[in-house]
């Protein structure tokens, strides 16, 4: 049994490795040597200060949003709307940063984060309410909300909040009191990563040690039995989704307050979707999300260098990520199937379970 | 020679239409069919008798092509056959009426009947002609089915007839009926037996799977008794008795012997007045149900599945909304109160489908045992879980209820059905509840596990709990209960004491043909 | 004045029909797939791959028709992948679909960079509107419906054909049965998994054609992520249309009309920021899902893999 558990934990790793191998093929197609390309990737991500700071910068939103998707996943929900929640989170933080002045950073910064969380959480509210009241599939509704959120921000940034005289749409500057402290001088790396790591730890403890985490797990595993045991399934689902949205919202807030200190149209290059990959590959475990988001942050950071020095398009990273999840889904399915077949062999078809037989078999085996 | 659809059929006689020889089928470590021999004579009704899990369904699934045997052979009309899919079995004239109907609810009767058949003339469906053909068949066999009705609108008894029509339409001459009366009222069952007799009088053959002894004696010419995958005996029904068959089925003298002391009743725990509710299809399921259950008594609900028992239990437990009426639990109005409220008032619930509703298969035994209580002390202080306390609690319960498992950290999904039910029992019963709602708690369990469940429930009753007990097995309900309410079509036809009523009267009540007074809880002077 | 207004209306309606086409084609594929019990989120990825494949096909194989063929094949291949994952392996259909979309986005962008740009491929031979003789003389309806490109006709033809297929042929009946009660279909002798494979692959064919429309009719080139979420709107159209082919393209027309409205706004500089009408189709789809459609209409078995030897 333990071997199987270990194998389950390893499947994401196999999936990523397999995807990377296929990625090598793609690099070949682009006319570069895969080994050189991958070493450029690694070098770009870690070897120098600038590269490492880029890795941190790219990891941060992935981590926040990945946690957001993971929370929902634990409750059995698919939060595909992280991208939209990121945008709304950025918008929320921007509103607080642009319209409030004269507050000290120790107040203003948490305020922006809170606004981001609130906006993201609210953006997730409609899909989940539709799901629990009308059974509407939250995958499509959250997807649609992504587009609406993107265009909403786009409109705000080219209209009401626009910096007068800007050559392309971006918002007015946020109050400097909202700027996140810089971690590595002369780089973009900001304190957002620390907040994210802290939240990841918090979430880990929440899941593993609290009654709420237990309830989340129970509802995600079997909502019906949880209802029979007295848990309020609807509230649990709504809370999980809103919390997920809030976390993704913070991702957006931190992107704005940590990097450019303005809201830009299209400021999220698909972090929300990457976050889905990260969360699935980590099976919803917060500590796993940390590892996976670092990995993909590094990929993104290194890929820029790879493109610059070897001409391999950055888009290869998306392809690799997609492949990783495909392999993961396949791997999990195969593994579940062999497990199920094994269980099935101990039961007979036709409605009833043969307990006498199973019990006999079990005692014979043990 | 009678030619049916291109197959030559031997003249009507007592030749075997089917011979299954030394059929063996294994599922992993479990030997579901162990060298089974079965001979079905043409024009006869051959019973296949056995308990849940004896291997009956596996055997006929092999015959129908859903499974392949590991060893053995089949001879149909003297020719060796091997079916790799139902399609080939159907082509050879075998028709199966499953326990759970294989009908697609949104489609009509006609569409269901022609499903899977290649088009006759053009590439398009000719539903009109099919409907006419169905009407003819329907009339010939007095099956009375409207071919244009969508399945979901039809009552269960009629749906079963559609299944039979399906087989007739495909010119089956060997019918397999798998526990057909499990969803019928006694009156509908009688109608079914008439249909079976009609089929047989035309030279068709029927394999009749059941676990009910009286049916075997009533309908079958011959019977094969299976136990734990092996054939115990095959003999004509004229040469045996129900008691003998029962002994063969179980391997020992089986009488549902429950040590039951007299009920020690006290105050009323559960009071139901004028309860109304809808089922999942928005049809009225409860039409004004009223009764009361006392401490220290088992109140049984008898009736054919689908007459409101499930909905009643769900409304009482808080899983379904009552649209009218009142539920009082220990004097507190809990009508439409959340489940947790009722739990804190002393409600325990043993659901009918433990796998879906009773346990969370992916969670551990320990987790499942605290499913109702994990959020409050001693299992959690200020929302922080106390794993040590949880584990201790689980270990103690596992010992007390003799749950066979590899450890409390094992996933419940890996436990056998009987042990899973023990987990449910342990959790629900260990808190000394005031009201236990038990929905078919012995479903799918073997004799040993069932006895354990019933003994536990009776022990609770002796302790002073009130028990609301439903089961599809009438014998069980009558044996366990102090009072029994018989439900039909969402109403209570009568509340009686089991020893004061005849089986015939109960049957009539189940079929809606008789009403009796509703016996109130006894006045107690203790 | 009247002439101007009616000309405007005609232009608007024509645009609406045109813009509805990719959504409609993809939605028809979605209907097939979901009716067979497979939730197809990957329509977006199928469309995108079809768009790229169409451009490559048109450039290298001589014209938009070749491009269309290649596009449909590529969409079908993605369909086979999805079918393999969700039908043969029984993987979670949502995860599989999302993964395929991600992969498609990455691979099409990647391939576009290394195949199109170096070879200098930008604009490719595309479909031209074909006015159907006689028919397009009908007032109003004529130019709007019958003066469109071939792919529009494909969609308009496919819808009734699929309707007849689903409701008047034994195979359509089998498909519908599988989506509602696969076990019943199985015991009736139908090969459930095979039919699902076929349905999902067919949805790929149609979604691939939808992609070809984008790159060979709507525009005549490929841009990154040019499907821009139309695959998801198509899903909403399926639901809005209650899983009926005619309903689905009806919903697609609605979405096309909203999309066309955006063009109207931009042309006439009505002072409304362009994002608002652009948002409209998505909002409509959301409303459709949330308010106007009941959940009982969905095929009952959609989303769950079918295992033969399972209780």
DSSP A238-291: HHHHHHHHHHHHHHHHHHIIIIISS-BTT--SSHHHHHHHHHHHTTT-HHHHHH
Of A227, A353, A364, nearest to B339 by CB-CB distance is A227
Neighbours of A187 (CB within 10 A): 16
Q: Give the pLDDT of residue A101.
A: 87
B245 or A112, which is more confident: A112
How many Cβ contacts (< 8 angstroms) between chains A and B? 151
Asked if CATH classification 3.40.50.300 holds for the domain at B268-510, the reply, yes or no, is yes
CA–chain centroid gap for B290, Å, is 26
The three-class DSSP label of residue C251 is helix
The residue in chain A having the minimum alpha-carbon distance to the alpha carbon of residue B57 is: A350
The H or E element that residue B73 is part of is strand B71-76
Do A210 and B449 lie within an 8 Å CB cutoff? Answer: no
User: How big is chain C, counted in residues?
Assistant: 311
Q: Give the pLDDT of residue B47.
A: 94
Q: Give the pLDDT of residue A303.
A: 85
Phi, psi of C205 (to 5 degrees): -60, -50
Of C91, C106, C273, nearest to A329 by CB-CB distance is C91
* A227 interaction partners in chain B (CB closer than 8 Å): 319, 339
In angstroms, what separates the C-alpha of A83 from chain B's closest C-alpha? 31
Tokens 């899902």, residue located: C289
pTM of the model: 0.79
CATH number, domain at A74? 1.10.3470
> Is C111 contained in some domain?
yes
Q: Give the pLDDT of residue B224.
A: 93
The three-class DSSP label of residue A144 is helix
d(CA A191, CA B362): 38
Do B414 and A222 lie within an 8 Å CB cutoff? Answer: no
Q: Identify the CATH number of the domain defined by range B16-93+207-247.
A: 3.40.50.300
| pLDDT tens-place string over residues A20-52 | 999 999 888 888 888 888 888 888 888 878 888
Does the beta carbon of B381 lie under 8 angstroms from any beta carbon of chain A?
Answer: no
List B38's β-bridge partners, or say none. B20
Tokens 């634990």, residue located: A74
- Binding-site residues on chain A for chain B (CB distance < 8 A): 1, 209-215, 217-218, 221-222, 224-232, 342-359, 361-362, 364-366
Neighbours of chain C (3+ CB pairs under 8 A): A, B
Of C91, C276, C295, nearest to A330 by CB-CB distance is C91
Mean pLDDT of C66-72: 94
> Is C9 contained in some domain?
no
CA–chain centroid gap for A75, Å, is 15
In angstroms, what separates the C-alpha of B113 from chain C's closest C-alpha? 9
Q: Give the pLDDT of residue B118.
A: 79
A350 has a pLDDT exceeding 60? no
Domain positions in chain B are 16-93+207-247, 268-510
Q: List alpha helices for C125-181, DSSP H.
A: 141-146, 150-168, 170-180
Range of the domain at A171: 31-312
The H or E element that residue B231 is part of is strand B230-236
| Integer CA distances (angstroms), B222 to B34, B239, B241, C225, in order | 21, 9, 12, 70
Phi, psi of B241 (to 5 degrees): -130, 160
In angstroms, what separates the C-alpha of C173 from chain A's closest C-alpha? 26
| Residues B37 and B20: beta-carbon distance below 8 Å | yes
Kindly state the DSSP code that residue C290 receives in the 8-state scheme. Answer: I
Handedness of CA B401, B405, B406, B410 (dihedral sign): negative
| Residues C184 and B81: beta-carbon distance below 8 Å | no
Phi, psi of B415 (to 5 degrees): -85, 155
Q: Give the pLDDT of residue C270.
A: 67
Mean pLDDT of A228-233: 90
Half-sphere exposure of C128 (CA within 13 A, CB side): 4
d(CA C75, CA C26): 10
The three-class DSSP label of residue A324 is helix
Does the beta carbon of B337 lie under 8 angstroms from any beta carbon of chain A?
Answer: no
pLDDT band at A199 (very low <50, low <70, confident <90, very high): very high
Does the beta carbon of B87 lie under 8 angstroms from any beta carbon of chain C?
Answer: yes
* A136 interaction partners in chain C (CB closer than 8 Å): 289-290, 295
List B301's β-bridge partners, or say none. B470, B485
Phi, psi of C13 (to 5 degrees): -65, -40
Q: List alpha helices for B100-185, DSSP H.
A: 109-114, 127-140, 156-169
In angstroms, what separates the C-alpha of C296 from chain B's closest C-alpha? 10
Q: How many helices (H) and strands (E) are present in chain C, helices listed first?
A: 12, 0
The parts of chain B modelled with pLDDT lower than 50 are 1-13, 252-255, 524-526
d(CA A180, CA A110): 10
C295 has a pLDDT exceeding 50? no
What are C174's two structure tokens? 């089998």
Phi, psi of A277 (to 5 degrees): -60, -45
d(CA C29, CA C302): 15
In angstroms, what separates the C-alpha of B151 from chain C's closest C-alpha? 12
d(CA C85, CA A355): 34
Do C311 and A340 lie within an 8 Å CB cutoff? Answer: no
> Is A102 contained in some domain?
yes
What are A127's two structure tokens? 């899909």
| pLDDT tens-place string over residues C192-226 | 999 999 999 999 999 999 999 999 888 888 888 89
Do A326 and C239 lie within an 8 Å CB cutoff? Answer: no
| Residues C181 and B116: beta-carbon distance below 8 Å | no
Do A215 and B374 lie within an 8 Å CB cutoff? Answer: yes
Query: A350: buried, middle or exposed (CB in 10 Å: 19+, 13-18, 0-12)?
Result: buried
C54 or C274, which is more confident: C54
Do C180 and B106 lie within an 8 Å CB cutoff? Answer: yes
Q: Give the pLDDT of residue A359.
A: 33
What are B223's two structure tokens? 């019977």
Tokens 């080219």, residue located: A158
| Sequence-ordered list of residues with C-beta below 8 angstroms from that of B25, at least 6 positions apart, any chain | B31, B32, B33, B58, B59, B62, B67, B69, B70
d(CA A263, CA A86): 12
pLDDT band at A362 (very low <50, low <70, confident <90, very high): very low
What are C311's two structure tokens? 């209780």
Torsion, Cα A114 A118 A120 A124, to 10 degrees, reads 150
Do B372 and A229 lie within an 8 Å CB cutoff? Answer: yes
CA C278-C281-C287 angle, to 5 degrees, is 135
d(CA A171, CA A178): 15
Kindly state the DSSP code that residue B67 receives in the 8-state scheme. Answer: S
| Residues B300 and B478: beta-carbon distance below 8 Å | yes
d(CA B299, CA B477): 9
Instruction: Provide the number of structural domains found in chain A.
Output: 1
The residue in chain C having the minimum alpha-carbon distance to the alpha carbon of residue B57 is: C311
Please report the beta strands in B281-419, taking only residues with DSSP state E, as ranges in sequence order.
284-294, 298-302, 324-329, 332-333, 347-350, 380-381, 384-385
| Residues A348 and C127: beta-carbon distance below 8 Å | no
d(CA B403, CA B423): 7
In angstroms, what separates the C-alpha of C291 from chain B's closest C-alpha? 20
The residue in chain A having the minimum alpha-carbon distance to the alpha carbon of residue C41 is: A140
Provide the mean pLDDT of chain A.
85
How many Cβ contacts (< 8 angstroms) between chains B and C? 66
* C41 interaction partners in chain A (CB closer than 8 Å): 139
Mean pLDDT of A203-214: 93
The residue in chain C having the minimum alpha-carbon distance to the alpha carbon of residue A129 is: C290
Of B99, B340, B418, nearest to A230 by CB-CB distance is B340
The three-class DSSP label of residue C253 is helix
Neighbours of chain B (3+ CB pairs under 8 A): A, C
Range of the domain at C182: 18-120+148-297
Neighbours of A358 (CB within 10 A): 25
Do C174 and B115 lie within an 8 Å CB cutoff? Answer: yes
Does the beta carbon of B314 lie under 8 angstroms from any beta carbon of chain A?
Answer: no
* C164 interaction partners in chain B (CB closer than 8 Å): 124
| Sequence-ordered list of residues with C-beta below 8 angstroms from that of A123, at least 6 positions apart, any chain | A81, A84, A85, A88, A145, A149, A245, A249
* A139 interaction partners in chain C (CB closer than 8 Å): 41, 94
| pLDDT tens-place string over residues B119-169 | 777 778 888 888 999 999 888 888 888 999 999 888 888 899 999 999 888
Do A318 and C283 lie within an 8 Å CB cutoff? Answer: no
| Residues B477 and B471: beta-carbon distance below 8 Å | yes
- Prediction ipTM score: 0.82
Kindly state the DSSP code that residue B117 receives in the 8-state scheme. Answer: P
d(CA A131, CA B393): 36
Does the beta carbon of B117 lie under 8 angstroms from any beta carbon of chain C?
Answer: yes
Does the beta carbon of B102 lie under 8 angstroms from any beta carbon of chain A?
Answer: no
Q: List alpha helices for B202-305, DSSP H.
A: 213-219, 242-250
Phi, psi of A312 (to 5 degrees): -80, 125
Mean pLDDT of A107-127: 94
Does residue A14 have a cis peptide bond before it, meaning omega lies within 30 degrees of 0?
no
Does the beta carbon of B157 lie under 8 angstroms from any beta carbon of chain C?
Answer: no
CA–chain centroid gap for A30, Å, is 29
Do B57 and A351 lie within an 8 Å CB cutoff? Answer: yes
Of C109, C232, C239, nearest to A313 by CB-CB distance is C109
Please report the beta strands in B303-357, taking only residues with DSSP state E, as ranges in sequence order.
324-329, 332-333, 347-350
In angstroms, what separates the C-alpha of A297 from chain C's closest C-alpha? 16
DSSP string for residues in B164-208: HHHHHHTT-SEEEEESGGGGS-HHHHHHHHHHHHHHHHTT-EEEE
d(CA C146, CA C155): 12
* C180 interaction partners in chain B (CB closer than 8 Å): 104-107
Provide the mean pLDDT of chain C.
85
| pLDDT tens-place string over residues C233-244 | 898 888 778 889
The residue in chain B having the minimum alpha-carbon distance to the alpha carbon of residue C178 is: B104
| Residues C67 and C74: beta-carbon distance below 8 Å | no
What are C193's two structure tokens? 């998994």
Please report the beta strands in B42-146, taking only residues with DSSP state E, as ranges in sequence order.
45-49, 71-76, 79-81, 94-97
Do B107 and C177 lie within an 8 Å CB cutoff? Answer: yes
Percent of chain A, pLDDT > 90? 37
What are B106's two structure tokens? 């949104």
In angstroms, what separates the C-alpha of B230 from chain A's closest C-alpha? 12
Percent of chain A, pLDDT > 70? 90
> Is C304 contained in some domain?
no
Of A212, A355, A365, nearest to B418 by CB-CB distance is A355
Phi, psi of C101 (to 5 degrees): -60, -45
The residue in chain B having the minimum alpha-carbon distance to the alpha carbon of residue A225 is: B357
C75 has a pLDDT exceeding 90? yes
Neighbours of chain A (3+ CB pairs under 8 A): B, C
The three-class DSSP label of residue B147 is coil
């Amino acid at each position: 049994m333990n071997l199987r558990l270990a194998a389950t934990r390893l499947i994401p790793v196999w999936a990523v490795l397999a995807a990377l191998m296929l990625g090598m093929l793609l690099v070949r197609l682009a006319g570069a040597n895969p080994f050189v390309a991958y070493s450029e990737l690694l070098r770009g991500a870690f070897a120098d200060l600038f590269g490492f700071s880029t890795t941190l910068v790219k990891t941060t939103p992935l981590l926040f949003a990945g946690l957001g998707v993971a929370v929902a996943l634990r409750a059995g929900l698919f939060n595909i709307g992280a991208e939209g929640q990121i945008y709304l989170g950025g918008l929320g933080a921007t509103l607080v940063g642009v319209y409030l002045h004269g507050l000290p950073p120790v107040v203003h910064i948490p305020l922006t984060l809170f606004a981001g969380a609130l906006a993201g959480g609210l953006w997730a509210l409609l899909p989940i309410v539709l799901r629990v009241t009308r059974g509407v599939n939250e995958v499509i509704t959250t997807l649609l909300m992504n587009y609406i959120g993107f265009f909403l921000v786009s409109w705000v940034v080219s209209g009401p909040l626009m910096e007068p005289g800007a050559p392309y749409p971006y918002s007015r500057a946020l109050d400097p009191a909202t700027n996140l402290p810089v971690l590595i001088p002369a780089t973009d790396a900001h304190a957002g990563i620390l907040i994210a790591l802290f939240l990841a730890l918090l979430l880990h403890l929440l899941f593993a040690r609290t009654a709420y985490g237990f309830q989340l797990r129970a509802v995600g595993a079997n909502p019906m039995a949880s209802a029979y045991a007295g848990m309020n399934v609807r509230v649990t689902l709504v809370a999980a989704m809103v919390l997920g949205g809030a976390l993704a919202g913070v991702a957006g807030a931190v992107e704005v307050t940590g990097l450019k200190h303005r809201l830009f149209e299209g400021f999220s290059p698909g972090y929300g979707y990457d976050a889905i990959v990260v969360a699935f590959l980590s099976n919803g475990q917060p500590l796993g999300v940390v590892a996976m988001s670092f990995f993909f942050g590094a990929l993104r950071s290194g890929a820029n260098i790879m493109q610059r020095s070897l001409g391999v398009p950055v888009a290869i990273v998306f392809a690799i990520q997609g492949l990783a999840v495909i392999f993961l889904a396949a791997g999990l399915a195969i593994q579940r199937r062999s497990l199920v077949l094994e269980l099935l062999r101990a039961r007979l078809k036709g409605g009833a379970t043969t307990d006498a037989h199973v019990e006999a078999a079990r005692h014979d085996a043990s | 020679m009678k030619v049916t659809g291109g197959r030559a059929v031997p003249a009507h006689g007592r030749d075997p239409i089917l011979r299954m020889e030394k059929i063996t089928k294994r599922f992993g470590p479990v030997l579901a069919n162990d060298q089974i021999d079965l001979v079905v004579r043409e024009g006869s009704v051959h019973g296949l008798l056995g308990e849940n899990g004896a291997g009956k369904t596996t055997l006929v699934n092999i015959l129908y092509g859903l499974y392949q045997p590991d060893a053995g052979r089949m001879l149909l009309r003297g020719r060796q056959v091997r079916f790799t899919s139902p399609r080939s079995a159907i082509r050879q004239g075998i028709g199966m009426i499953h326990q759970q109907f294989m009908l697609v609810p949104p489609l009509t009767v006609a569409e269901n009947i022609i499903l899977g058949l290649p088009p006759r003339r053009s590439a398009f469906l000719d539903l009109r002609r099919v409907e006419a053909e169905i009407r003819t068949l329907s009339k010939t066999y007095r099956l009375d089915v409207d071919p244009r009705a969508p399945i979901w609108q039809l009552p269960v008894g009629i749906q079963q007839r559609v299944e039979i029509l399906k087989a007739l339409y495909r010119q089956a001459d060997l019918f397999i009926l798998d526990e057909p009366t499990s969803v019928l009222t006694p009156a509908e069952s009688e109608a079914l037996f008439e249909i079976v007799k009609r089929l047989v009088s035309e030279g068709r053959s029927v394999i009749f799977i059941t676990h009910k002894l009286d049916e075997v004696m009533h309908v079958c010419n011959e019977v094969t008794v299976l136990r734990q995958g092996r054939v115990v005996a095959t003999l004509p029904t004229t040469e045996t008795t129900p008691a003998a068959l029962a002994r063969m089925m179980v391997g020992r003298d089986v009488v549902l012997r429950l040590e039951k002391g007299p009920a020690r009743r006290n105050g009323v725990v559960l009071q139901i007045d004028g309860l109304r509710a809808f089922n999942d299809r928005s049809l009225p399921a409860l039409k004004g149900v009223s009764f009361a259950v006392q401490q220290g008594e088992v109140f049984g609900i008898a009736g054919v599945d689908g007459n409101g028992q499930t909905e009643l239990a769900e409304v009482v437990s808080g899983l379904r909304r009552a649209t009218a009426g009142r539920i009082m639990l220990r004097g507190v109005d809990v009508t439409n109160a959340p489940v947790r409220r009722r739990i804190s008032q002393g409600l325990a619930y043993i659901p009918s489908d433990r796998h879906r509703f009773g346990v969370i298969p992916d969670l551990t035994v320990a987790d499942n045992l605290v499913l109702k209580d994990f959020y409050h002390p001693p299992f959690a202080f200020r929302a922080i879980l106390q794993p040590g306390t949880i584990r201790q609690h689980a270990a103690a319960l596992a010992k007390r209820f003799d749950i066979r498992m590899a450890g409390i950290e094992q996933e419940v999904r890996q436990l056998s059905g009987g042990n899973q039910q023990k987990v449910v029992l342990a959790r629900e019963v260990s808190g000394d509840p005031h009201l236990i709602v038990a929905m078919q708690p012995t479903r799918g369990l073997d004799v040993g596990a069932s006895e354990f469940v019933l003994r536990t429930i009776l022990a609770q009753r002796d302790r002073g709990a009130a028990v609301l007990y439903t089961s599809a097995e009438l014998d069980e309900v009558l044996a366990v209960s102090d009072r029994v309410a018989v439900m039909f079509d969402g109403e209570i036809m009568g509340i009686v004491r089991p020893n004061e009523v005849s089986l015939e009267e109960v049957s009539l009540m189940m079929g809606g043909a008789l009403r009796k007074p509703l016996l109130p809880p006894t006045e107690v002077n203790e | 004045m009247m002439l101007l207004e009616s000309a405007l209306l005609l232009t608007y309606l024509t645009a609406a029909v045109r813009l509805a086409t990719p959504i409609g084609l993809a939605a028809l594929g979605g209907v097939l797939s979901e009716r067979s019990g497979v939730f197809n989120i990957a329509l977006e990825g199928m469309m995108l791959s079809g768009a790229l494949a169409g451009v490559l096909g048109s450039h290298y194989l001589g014209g938009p028709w070749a491009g269309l063929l290649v596009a449909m094949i590529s969409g079908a291949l993605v369909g086979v992948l999805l079918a393999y994952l969700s039908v043969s392996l029984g993987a979670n259909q949502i995860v599989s679909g999302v993964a395929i979309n991600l992969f498609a986005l990455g691979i099409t962008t990647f391939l576009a960079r290394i195949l199109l740009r170096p070879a200098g491929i930008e604009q490719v031979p595309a479909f031209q509107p074909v006015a159907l003789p006689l028919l397009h003389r009908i007032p109003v309806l004529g130019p709007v419906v019958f003066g469109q490109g071939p792919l529009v006709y494909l969609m308009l033809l496919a819808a009734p054909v699929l309707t007849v297929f689903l409701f008047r042929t034994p195979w359509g009946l089998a498909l519908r049965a599988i989506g509602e009660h696969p076990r019943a279909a199985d015991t009736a002798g139908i090969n459930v998994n095979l039919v699902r494979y076929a349905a999902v692959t067919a949805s790929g064919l149609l979604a691939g054609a939808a992609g070809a429309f984008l790159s060979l009719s709507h525009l005549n080139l490929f841009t990154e992520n040019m499907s821009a979420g139309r695959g998801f709107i198509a899903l909403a159209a399926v639901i809005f249309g209650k899983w009926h082919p005619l309903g689905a393209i009806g919903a697609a027309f609605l979405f096309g009309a909203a999309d066309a409205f955006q063009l109207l706004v931009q042309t006439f500089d009505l002072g409304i920021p362009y994002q608002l009408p652009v948002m409209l189709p998505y909002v409509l789809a959301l409303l459709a899902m949330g308010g106007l459609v009941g959940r009982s209409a969905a095929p009952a078995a959609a989303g769950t893999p079918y295992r033969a030897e399972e209780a």
